[in-house]
Chain A
Amino acid sequence: MTMEQILSYIPLDISLIAANFDRFLYGVWTTLNLTFIALFIGALLAIPMAIARASRHRFWNPIVWGYTYVFRGTPLLVQTYLIYYGFGQFEFIRHSWLWEPVLSSAWWCALIAFTLNTAAYSTELLRGAIIDTPKGEVEAAIATGHSYKARLRRIILPSAFRRAIPAYSNEVIFMLHGSVVASTITLQDILGVGRWLNGRYYLAYEGFITAALLYFLIVLCIASVFRWLERRYLRHLTRRETPATAEITPEPTR
């Protein structure tokens, strides 16, 4: 069978996808930079906020709680619309120094919404990991003479970050999938290119299946990075490999 024959069985216009593949690559680039810049800044914001949420600080704990409650309680799409369409309603914002470079740009609005959203989820996720730090390990650090800061930096956070890895891999994947919201505010991310193809040629499958495949491939990469991270940083929780001989030695019967 020749290549052309094989292709003829696939009910998709492969040549159309191929002709527009550079657009899809550009879409991948847009999706990746939006998602990962948002995740990076969101994680940096989440660390102090999670510490505040895990503490009994009278001022910061309720403030951060309110923030995460609002951003986890509303859809990302609504948050993005509020920033992109909402802010422009206010004259003082349109005339502020932030308008021209930032708030008038769809990319920046998406980045702000995504960052605030992932920061809220990451905060609560990391807070859970922090308060799960074994109490005895914290006591051992206190008894050794560690200050509160040293305890956080040396014991509590390193331990919490490790515990948070599996849950955080979900957050990364959700954020990637959530980033399709960008395509609704004119951005040509992966789904944006799919929508463009559908609108232009009225071929839904070509655009959307290609988009789905591209998201799927990115998820595969993310999952394998996290598998590596878990192997490396959760070693201390795994069972140590026993020598092969130990496994085949039968239990003595009594």
Chain B
Amino acid sequence: MTGISALKVDNLHKSFGQHEVIKGVSMEAQKGDVIAILGASGSGKSTFLRCINLLETPNSGDVYLAGEKIRMKRNRHGETVPADIRQVERMRARLAMVFQGFNLWSHMTVMENVLEGPLYVQKTPKSEALEKAKALLAKVGLADRADYYPAHLSGGQQQRVAIARALAMDPDVMLFDEPTSALDPELVGEVLAVMRDLAAEGRTMLVVTHEMGFARDVSSKTVFLHKGEVCEEGAPGKLFTNPETEQFKAFLSRMN
């Protein structure tokens, strides 16, 4: 292994009340890796992704971004909380997320959505940010929709704006939380096409998805989660042709 991994998750645990959703998951992504995370609903794959940027606070386990550990501490109720919220905010700015429900800011135009992070988190000079935002909108094929509000776009267009918004932060790692699951079938392709381009560019991506084709063709590594644990992982070529565990075999036959 060469150098420091772009993202490392070490023995992550997460419970909601009595129910343990993530039971010690570890994962490591080198720069340029595309890791597809598969699993049935309830397998904890979305929760795992949301623990990485602390949208959910893990009960234990560590997250390292380019070798830097997100520092956690225990509060007086014994709950795990971030030790330094500023550090977490800095980390989040380097870990862009694309959501299942797009989550574009509805009162802002497409352009304003893309400019928000660079201008108000990274404090990029306006002209520079504007230049980049225009280029990114062109890249996702929406240069002519810059002045539209999200509600006036199709789901596929909204998700492409969300990807442009994430790219605007120049993230070290991109987290995709079922990016095509809320889309009508005919709109899935346009979003996957953009994601394929990003993978080809060498972006480091963690993609929680139900798109088997994407996992098989695009990912450098596929991870199958079952009941909050890594059940099977490896190169997609091997995994899809030669599944080892009964659970993954059953999952694959259900998906096909």
Contact = CB atoms under 8 A, between A and B. Distances in A.
Given A139-B55, A236-B149, A237-B151, A145 B107 contact: no
Contacts of A145: 89-93, 117, 121, 169
Interface of B: 53, 55, 85-86, 89-93, 95-97, 99, 101-108, 116-117, 120-121, 148-152, 162, 165, 169
A158 interface: yes
Given A145-B90, A154-B116, A236 B55 contact: no
Contact of B121 (A134, A146, A158, A237): A146
Given A137-B105, A159-B106, A240-B152, 13 more contacts: A136-B101, A140-B99, A142-B55, A142-B92, A143-B53, A143-B92, A144-B117, A146-B121, A147-B86, A154-B116, A158-B107, A162-B107, A240-B148
A240 B152 CA distance: 6
12 contacts: A134-B106, A136-B103, A140-B99, A140-B103, A143-B53, A144-B92, A144-B169, A145-B92, A146-B120, A150-B120, A154-B116, A155-B105
A226 to B, nearest CB: 18
Nearest to B53: A143
A235 interface: yes
Interface of A: 134, 136-137, 139-147, 150, 154-155, 158-159, 162, 235-237, 239-240
Nearest to A134: B106
B120 A136 contact: no
B90 to A, nearest CB: 7
Contact of B93 (A139, A140, A144): A144
Contacts of B165: 144
Contacts of B95: 143
A150 B92 CA distance: 14
A236 B95 CA distance: 28
Contacts of B120: 146, 150, 154
B27 to A, nearest CB: 19
Q: Is the interface of B mostly helix, strand, loop or mixed?
A: mixed
Contacts of B90: 145
Contacts of A137: 103-106
Contacts of A139: 55, 99, 103
B85 to A, nearest CB: 8
Nearest to B106: A236
B107 to A, nearest CB: 5
B112 to A, nearest CB: 10
B96 to A, nearest CB: 7
B89 A146 contact: yes
Contacts of A142: 55, 92
Contacts of A158: 107
A90 B234 CA distance: 82
A10 B6 CA distance: 85
Contacts of A140: 97, 99, 103-105, 162
A144 B98 CA distance: 10
Contacts of B96: 143-144
B155 to A, nearest CB: 14
Nearest to A148: B85
B106 A237 contact: yes
B66 to A, nearest CB: 16
Nearest to A237: B151
A162 B106 CA distance: 11
B97 to A, nearest CB: 4
A92 B118 CA distance: 57
Nearest to A234: B107
A149 to B, nearest CB: 11
